[in-house]
Amino acid sequence: MKQSFSRNALGVNPADIPVKVLNNGERMPTIGIGTFGSDLYNADQVADAVIYAAEVGQRFFDCASVYSNEMEIGAAFQVILEGGVPREELFITSKVWNDRHGEGEVIASCKQTLADLGLDYLDLYLVHWPFPNFHPPGCSVESRSPDSKPYIHEDYMVVWRQMEQLVEEGLVRSIGTSNMTIPKMNLLLPDCRIKPAVNEMELHPHFQQQAFVDYLVEREIQPIGFCPIGSPKRPERDKTETDTVDIEDPVVVQAAERLGVHPAVVCLKWAVQRGVVPIPFSVTPSKIESNLRCALPDYLVLTDAEMEALGSIDKGCRLIKGQVFLWEDAAGWDVLWDEDGTIAT
Characterize the bridge pairing of strands 122-127 and 91-96: parallel
* Integer Cα distance of 178 and 223 in angstroms: 10
What's the CA gap between 36 and 42, in Å, rounded? 9
**Among residues 291, 280, 284, 226, which one has the least CA distance to residue 52?**
284
Residue type, 47: A
Catalytic residue among 41, 67, 125, 151: 67
The answer to whether residues 343 and 183 touch, using CB atoms and an 8 Å cutoff, is yes
Residue 157 vs residues 163, 280, 339: alpha-carbon distances, Å: 9, 30, 22
Q: How far apart are CA 159 and CA 40, in angstroms?
A: 31
Known catalytic residue: 52? no
Q: Are 56 and 10 in contact (CB under 8 A)?
A: yes
Strand ranges (E), 79-238: 91-96, 122-127, 172-178, 198-202, 222-226
Which residues have a Cβ under 8 Å from the Cβ of 168 and sit 6 or more positions away? Answer: none
- In whole angstroms, what is the distance from residue 44 CA to residue 23 CA? 35
Does the CA dihedral 242-246-247-251 come out positive or negative?
Answer: positive
User: Which residues are catalytically annotated?
Assistant: 67
